[in-house]
């Protein structure tokens, strides 16, 4: 009788260790940013999750729009953004880039809460300028891969260049400065776009010869328009406020709109709501002299997540009863929590709630989209149906296949989208009525911007994140902050960051505002989105790199061309449907 074979040896299975932190040391540059590392204590990382904005701003990843969607590229590795697993770290979208980094030679070490990232510094072997229509392109041939970092408005290439090579760059209009940790191109972070390639190693810079406005500007305090406003009482300064033992650096702009001759305006994207822009690209078309980043958005889909109304037209409706501000021609701000109560009524008296208006916030039920969303609506979830309403009648219905391709939005129509198996409430040819009212009077005002949570009202802390649908982890998060406030007879645009170390929590932000005499305050999108622009110069960024954002808030000179004094008055379309019936 043959004995059975011995059992196989027991395989020791260990769960991979998980480590998280909030600092990175990138080739000697220490920055605050969240990370998540999964692997064995004495081995390499199986997973390394880093924020997408950090990868673009501090590593040189290229994010581009292709016919099939957003694409990410770095030294020969390419992937569509939607194909990559994603998680949320604090308030930021993060990707697993362990394999991307290690295959390029990046060394990663953990030390307590700090992640150390190192890449051997390559030599610049040569420079090649494009010809003809590509004359604004410069190709840098390298002996190995190098990090490309945006530091404020400077571009740091972690490579070594010779004196002769730096002279060649100067002849092309660049301002190179060799430092211990690489070659700094002064004032070029916004002027140049970069692409990294392998086989052989190269960095391609597009936009040489196009000077960044910031490089040609002196300090914003010396700008003639800013000087004139300061003489009329505008406040523009930076100060340190201690909340307990934590020092916070606050940069603020304070203005009495009527005395300084300014208008406060939302800065939306006019023609479509999908996409992100740098703050100066939102400010310049509106002639905004001063601007701050605005409300929340989905960083992956690049869609709005909150109230945005300009001249009486809803570009995006509020969600989750979150904090918002509203104002009219005087510029006096009304603060509160806001919802839009939309109802669809059928010809036989049936009633259905419409959950959102022109929003990237996706949930089961019915949502409404108008032409303010853009010329086309494309499905945001995997199970959708829709019907188009024009002049109170359902004129067409759409199935998932059509919505996935995209359907046009009529200038005088409303597209009602049913998600999650929710049935369409009416058939083609039936008559319906859409009614809408605001939960708070501020929703009736012509200008509205949402954020959240609400921080202060009448001098009291009213922080209640749960009431506004924010998670406990978001509420306890320490991060750079952007705030719009009111107090002491002035409107305030403020950014807050840690002066020496940790950034403020929402409660610490509220307490700091109280110390400054601000009576009403609303938190705006923060973290890497935090940005303040003065005289077309970015004076504050949340993570040290110029962020792309969805919308902003701007101060505009009343007499400036294209901005008439009636700019804050409500916009009325032919049907008057954008006006809110508050009955």
Predicted local distance difference test score (pLDDT) of residue 91: 66
Predicted local distance difference test score (pLDDT) of residue 582: 32
Predicted local distance difference test score (pLDDT) of residue 6: 45
pLDDT-derived band of residue 41, with 50, 70 and 90 as boundaries?
Answer: low
Predicted local distance difference test score (pLDDT) of residue 171: 92
pLDDT exceeds 50 at position 244: yes
pLDDT exceeds 60 at position 34: yes
For residue 492, give the nearest of 460, 444, 524 by alpha carbon: 524
What residues are paired with 556 via a beta bridge?
A: 263, 288
Average pLDDT over the chain, rounded to an integer: 88
Helix (H, G, I), strand (E, B) or coil at 106: coil
User: Which of 235-244, 314-323, 553-562 has the least mean pLDDT?
Assistant: 553-562
What are the φ/ψ torsions at residue 266 (nearest 5 degrees)? -65, 150
What's 286's DSSP letter? Answer: G
pLDDT-derived band of residue 10, with 50, 70 and 90 as boundaries?
Answer: very low
pLDDT-derived band of residue 563, with 50, 70 and 90 as boundaries?
Answer: very low
The residue-averaged pLDDT of 144-169 equals: 91
pLDDT exceeds 80 at position 565: no
Helix (H, G, I), strand (E, B) or coil at 402: helix
pLDDT exceeds 60 at position 574: no
In what helix (H) or strand (E) does residue 324 lie, and over which residues does it extend?
strand 323-327
The residue-averaged pLDDT of 517-546 equals: 91
Find out whether 160 and 101 touch, Cβ atoms under 8 Å. no
Find out whether 314 and 414 touch, Cβ atoms under 8 Å. no
Predicted local distance difference test score (pLDDT) of residue 215: 34
Rounded to whole angstroms, what are the CA distances from 345 to 353, 392, 433? 9, 10, 5
Predicted local distance difference test score (pLDDT) of residue 43: 63
For residue 302, give the nearest of 405, 374, 384, 365 by alpha carbon: 374
State pLDDT tens for residues 247-261. Answer: 999 999 999 999 999
Q: Are strands 376-377 and 384-390 parallel, antiparallel or unpaired?
A: unpaired
Class of the CATH-defined domain 340-438: mainly beta
What are the φ/ψ torsions at residue 300 (nearest 5 degrees)? -85, -55
Distance CA 59, CA 356 (A): 37
- Sheet bearing 176-179, strands edge to edge: 148-151, 154-157, 182-185, 176-179
pLDDT exceeds 70 at position 573: no
> What is the DSSP code string of 470-492?
--HHHHH----EEEEEEETTEEE
pLDDT exceeds 90 at position 578: no
What burial class does residue 11 get, using C-beta atoms within 10 Å of its C-beta: 0-12 exposed, 13-18 middle, 19+ buried? exposed
Predicted local distance difference test score (pLDDT) of residue 396: 97
Q: Where are the beta strands (DSSP E) in 358-440?
A: 365-369, 376-377, 384-390, 393-398, 407-408, 413-419, 432-438
Predicted local distance difference test score (pLDDT) of residue 9: 40
pLDDT-derived band of residue 472, with 50, 70 and 90 as boundaries?
Answer: confident
User: Which of 67-71, 242-246, 483-487 has the least mean pLDDT?
Assistant: 67-71
What are the φ/ψ torsions at residue 218 (nearest 5 degrees)? -80, -175
pLDDT-derived band of residue 69, with 50, 70 and 90 as boundaries?
Answer: confident
Residue with tokens 């992956």: 300
Distance CA 583, CA 580 (A): 9
Q: Which residues contact 370 (CB under 8 A, 6 or more apart)?
A: 314, 357, 358, 409, 413, 414, 415
The residue-averaged pLDDT of 161-174 equals: 94
Find out whether 91 and 296 touch, Cβ atoms under 8 Å. no
Distance CA 75, CA 59 (A): 11
The residue-averaged pLDDT of 405-424 equals: 96
pLDDT exceeds 70 at position 269: yes
pLDDT-derived band of residue 245, with 50, 70 and 90 as boundaries?
Answer: very high
Distance CA 388, CA 417 (A): 9
Predicted local distance difference test score (pLDDT) of residue 25: 92
Residue with tokens 């070029």: 188
pLDDT exceeds 80 at position 272: yes
pLDDT exceeds 90 at position 213: no
Distance CA 55, CA 57 (A): 6
For residue 337, give the nearest of 356, 320, 360 by alpha carbon: 320
Q: Are strands 137-142 and 124-129 parallel, antiparallel or unpaired?
A: antiparallel
What's 420's DSSP letter? Answer: T
Distance CA 341, CA 437 (A): 5
pLDDT exceeds 70 at position 559: yes
Predicted local distance difference test score (pLDDT) of residue 553: 98
Helix (H, G, I), strand (E, B) or coil at 422: coil
Tell me which range, 63-72, 147-156, 325-334, is most confidently predicted by mean pLDDT.
325-334
pLDDT-derived band of residue 560, with 50, 70 and 90 as boundaries?
Answer: low
What are the φ/ψ torsions at residue 201 (nearest 5 degrees)? -70, 130
Find out whether 59 and 156 touch, Cβ atoms under 8 Å. no
Predicted local distance difference test score (pLDDT) of residue 341: 96
Distance CA 432, CA 368 (A): 14
Token readout for 75 is 């030294």
Token readout for 394 is 């359902």
The residue-averaged pLDDT of 278-285 equals: 96
Token readout for 282 is 């939102």
pLDDT-derived band of residue 30, with 50, 70 and 90 as boundaries?
Answer: confident
pLDDT-derived band of residue 15, with 50, 70 and 90 as boundaries?
Answer: very low
Predicted local distance difference test score (pLDDT) of residue 307: 98
pLDDT exceeds 90 at position 89: no
What's 383's DSSP letter? Answer: S
| N- to C-terminal Cα separation, the chain | 92
The residue-averaged pLDDT of 61-68 equals: 82
pLDDT-derived band of residue 550, with 50, 70 and 90 as boundaries?
Answer: very high
Report the sign of the C-alpha dihedral through residues 487, 287, 283, 273, in that order. Answer: positive
Helix (H, G, I), strand (E, B) or coil at 534: strand
What's 355's DSSP letter? Answer: -
Give 3-state DSSP helix, strand, coil % of the chain, rounded to 5: 15, 45, 40
Predicted local distance difference test score (pLDDT) of residue 572: 39
The residue-averaged pLDDT of 275-286 equals: 95
pLDDT-derived band of residue 211, with 50, 70 and 90 as boundaries?
Answer: very low
pLDDT exceeds 50 at position 12: no
200 preceded by a cis bond (ω within 30 of 0): yes
């Amino acid at each position: 009788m043959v004995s059975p074979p011995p059992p196989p040896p027991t395989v020791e299975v260990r769960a991979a260790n998980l480590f998280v932190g909030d600092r990175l040391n990138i080739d000697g540059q220490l920055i605050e940013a969240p990370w998540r590392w999964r692997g064995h204590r004495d081995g390499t990382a199986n997973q390394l999750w880093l924020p997408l904005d950090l990868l673009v701003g501090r590593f040189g990843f290229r994010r581009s729009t292709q016919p099939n969607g957003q694409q990410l590229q770095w030294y020969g590795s390419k992937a569509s953004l939607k194909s990559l697993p994603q998680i949320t770290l604090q308030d930021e979208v993060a990707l697993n880039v362990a394999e991307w980094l290690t295959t390029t030679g990046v060394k990663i070490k953990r030390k307590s809460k700090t992640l150390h990232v190192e890449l051997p510094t390559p030599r610049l072997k040569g420079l090649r300028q494009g010809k003809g229509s590509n004359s604004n392109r410069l190709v840098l041939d390298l002996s190995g891969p190098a990090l490309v970092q945006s530091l404020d408005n400077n571009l740091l290439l972690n490579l070594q260049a010779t004196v002769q090579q730096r002279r060649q760059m100067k002849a092309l209009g660049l301002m190179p400065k060799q430092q211990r940790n690489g070659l700094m191109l002064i004032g070029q972070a916004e002027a140049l776009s970069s692409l990294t390639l392998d086989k052989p190693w190269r960095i391609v810079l597009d936009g040489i010869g196009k000077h960044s406005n910031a490089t040609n500007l002196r300090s914003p305090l010396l700008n003639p328009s800013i000087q004139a406003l300061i003489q009329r009482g505008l406040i523009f300064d930076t100060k340190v406020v201690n909340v307990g033992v934590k020092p916070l650096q606050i940069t603020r702009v304070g203005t009495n709109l009527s005395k300084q001759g300014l208008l406060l305006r939302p800065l939306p994207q006019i023609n479509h709501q999908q996409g992100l822009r740098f703050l100066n690209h939102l400010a310049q078309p509106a002639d905004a002299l001063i601007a701050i980043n605005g409300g929340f958005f989905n960083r992956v889909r690049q869609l709005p997540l909150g109230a945005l109304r300009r001249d009486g037209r809803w570009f995006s409706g509020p969600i989750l009863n979150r904090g918002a501000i509203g104002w009219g021609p005087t510029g006096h701000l009304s603060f509160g929590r806001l919802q839009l109560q939309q109802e669809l009524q059928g010809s036989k008296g049936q009633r259905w709630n419409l959950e959102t208006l022109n929003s990237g916030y996706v949930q089961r039920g019915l949502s409404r989209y108008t032409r303010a969303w853009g010329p086309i609506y494309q499905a945001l979830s995997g199970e959708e149906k829709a019907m188009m309403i024009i002049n109170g009648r359902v004129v067409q219905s759409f199935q998932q296949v059509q919505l996935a391709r995209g359907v046009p939005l009529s200038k005088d129509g409303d597209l009602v989208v049913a998600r999650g198996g929710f049935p369409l409430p009416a058939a083609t040819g039936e008559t319906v009525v859409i009614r809408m009212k605001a939960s708070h009077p501020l929703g009736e005002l012509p200008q509205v911007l949402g954020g959240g949570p609400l921080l202060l009202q009448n001098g009291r802390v009213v922080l209640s994140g749960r009431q506004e649908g924010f998670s406990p982890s978001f509420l306890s998060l320490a991060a750079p902050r952007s705030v719009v406030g009111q107090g002491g007879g002035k409107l305030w645009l403020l950014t807050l960051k840690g002066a020496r170390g940790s950034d403020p929590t929402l409660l610490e932000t509220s307490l700091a505002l109280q110390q400054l005499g601000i009576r009403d305050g609303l938190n705006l999108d923060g973290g890497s989105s935090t940005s303040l622009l003065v005289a077309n110069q970015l004076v504050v960024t949340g993570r040290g790199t110029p962020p792309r954002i969805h919308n902003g808030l701007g101060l505009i000179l009343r007499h400036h061309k294209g901005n008439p004094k009636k700019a804050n008055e409500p916009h009325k379309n032919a049907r008057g449907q954008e006006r809110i019936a508050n009955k």
